[in-house]
Amino acid sequence: MGKLADIKPYVRNMFYELFPNRKIDFPADYGHGLVANKWFFKTFKGKIGLIGAKEKLQLIQELLKHKDYREYLGIDKFNDYIYIPQRFACDDVRSLEKNIAKQLANSSSDIFLLGIGHVKSALLYKLKEYKRSIYVDVGGAIDAIAGVINITRMYMGNWTNFQIRSCDYSVIDFMRYIGWGKHILLK
C-alpha cells in the first residue's frame, strides 16, 4: 500500500524504533492528499469540524464568507471550530485539554480535521472521551484551508491559496510558507 519513499528516512527510522516488527502499510501525509483533492469536503460535506490554531481557524471563518472560496472547497461551512493556541500549546496540556473538552461538548461534527502540531501526542487519543467522532490529523493541510500552505509540501502543488486583502496576516504562524503557487486575493 504505502511506499517507503513517501516517508522521509529520519521519520522512517523513528517509526521502526517505535514499531520494530511492523511493516509500513500506509502512505505518508495521506491527510494532506485528502485535503488537496478535497475528498474530505466531498465525502463529509456538512459534517466536518476543524481543530487547530485559533488564528488560522478564524481566518478560515473569514474566508468562508466568500462565495469563490466556498465553491473552491465545495462546502458552505465547517460545523465547528475547536481552538488551540497557535504557539506554546504544550506548555499547559491539562488546561488545554479542559478547554478542548468544553468546546467538543458543544460540537456537532461527525469528523474533525486537525492540525495541532506536537500537542497531538498528548491529546489525540483522549478526544473521543469528550466527543464520539472521527479525528483525522491532517497536519499542515490546515494551513492550506487557511490559504497559507507552502505548495512545495507533499500533494499541495496544485493548491490555490485564497487570501483576504483586509485580513491581518501578521498574526499567522506561516510554517515556512513563502508565497509560491497560485493565489486568489479576495476583497
Cell triple for 5: 519513499
> In whole angstroms, what is the distance from residue 88 CA to residue 33 CA?
27
> In whole angstroms, what is the distance from residue 117 CA to residue 87 CA?
9
Per-residue pLDDT band at 32 (split at 50, 70, 90): confident
For residue range 115-170, list pLDDT tens digits in order.
Answer: 988 788 888 889 999 999 999 999 889 999 999 998 888 788 899 999 999 988 88
Do 84 and 54 touch, CB atoms closer than 8 A?
A: yes
pLDDT in the model for residue 74: 97
Query: pTM for this structure?
Result: 0.84
Q: Which residue ranges form the domains of the chain, and what is each CATH number?
A: 29-186 (3.40.50)
1 pLDDT higher than 60 = no
pLDDT in the model for residue 25: 67
pLDDT in the model for residue 81: 98
Length of the chain: 187
